[in-house]
Structure 1
């Protein structure tokens, strides 16, 4: 395995409690009495969520995978992401207009211009934070630049930056409005990128 793959594998273990084969995550049904025909909840600039993240990717020709839990807290000016193993908080990432900072216990903070650059450099795969601000709430920017609003009937889209999204399952908020439950995202290799393929599965366990 090349040095960059070893670095990626080591950092996966640090951040998310170890790289392991992605296990299937069962599709969670909507609560009894709810309907997937309900309107999507309005987009909120201030939003928080928690859930599980599974990633499969190829880095310099080598298949890699990881799983973990996350929390997501965003405001118009800041984003805070926490990654954890089953037993403890492993890392936190803070994003502002100026920079993204990754903090781990007993290690110097890592700083980059944005979260995509930070995760690509550290892990060998990209956490698409700009897209996730929309995706976690059921929205996206389609390939033609139009605003995509997901629903149970219209649940797939290719974004402007090449992500293929599928909103697989749904849940209702307290007001009965529709919210994503599981999102599958795939991206092919970009020209010159070390990551050849990338597939991310996101399961949301709570939103606020």
Structure 2
């Protein structure tokens, strides 16, 4: 079995019932979006549908996200085990999978595409998880009731589907849908990711 298939099989064991139970909203945040935080922790679930070398693949799993101004740590897991961990610093990105030697690269997106079979858009997620993005024209995008979707500068179509409130009563994303079409020469062809964040952060 190919490495990407093994990972997909492990992640598919994760429970993703919450994704199906979240009712999509037609608008954006009702309250002002929370201010951007350089130190940001999150946990949730993700569902990925993609094509790899022409073959349709899918997986579900849980993740944790711990972000500081100088470091990012991401964990992907099933109910029984950690599937992969990713650490990002200004110098490099490191991906560790169970029973495999760590892989280090400067370009995390290429590293995850080659190792997992699909691209985890870590650079974008730093903003997306907090209701922000860089639009196709390079401008800063902040999701709101009147603007809940955007196409990013690197070709992702984002939709902030539903929201929740933090301790201060500000809105933060609950569910984010992201999709990207095939790119010439890309290892991952079509890719759609659904992200559901658990509880107020």
TM-score (norm 2): 0.89
Q: Determine which of 193, 197, 201 is the counterpart of 1:200.
A: 193
User: Could you report, residue by residue, the CA deviation over 1:72-92 in whole angstroms, capped at 9, with x for unpaired residues?
Assistant: 000110000011111233321
- For residues 94-133 of structure 1, the aligned pairs below 5 Å read 94-133=87-126
- Does residue 76 in structure 1 map to residue 72 in structure 2? no
User: Could you report, residue by residue, the CA deviation over 1:88-132 in whole angstroms, capped at 9, with x for unpaired residues?
Assistant: 333211111111112234321122213212211102211000000
Question: What is the distance in 2 between the residues matched to 1:151 and 1:71?
Answer: 25
Q: Determine which of 20, 28, 39 is the counterpart of 1:25.
A: 20
Q: Name the counterpart of 2:40.
A: 47
- Does residue 9 in structure 1 map to residue 5 in structure 2? yes
Unaligned runs of 5+ in 1: none
Question: What is the distance in 2 between the residues matched to 1:18 and 1:189?
Answer: 27
Task: Give the deviation of 1:23 after TM superposition.
Answer: 9.7
TM-align CA RMSD: 2.6
Runs of 4+ aligned residues of structure 1 deviating over 3 Å after TM superposition are none
Q: Name the counterpart of 1:149.
A: 142
Task: Give the deviation of 1:144 after TM superposition.
Answer: 0.7
User: Could you report, residue by residue, the CA deviation over 1:127-180 in whole angstroms, capped at 9, with x for unpaired residues?
Assistant: 000000000000000011110000133100000000000000000001100000
- For residues 57-68 of structure 1, the aligned pairs below 5 Å read 57-68=50-61
CA gap 1:76/1:23 in 2 versus in 1, 3 angstroms: closer
Unaligned runs of 5+ in 2: none
User: Could you report, residue by residue, the CA deviation over 1:4-29 in whole angstroms, capped at 9, with x for unpaired residues?
Assistant: xx332123335x2569xx99622258
Question: What is the distance in 2 between the residues matched to 1:24 and 1:201?
Answer: 8
SS at match of 1:25: helix
Q: Is the contact made by 1:29 and 1:171 (CA closer than 8 Å) also made in structure 2?
A: no
TM-score (norm 1): 0.87
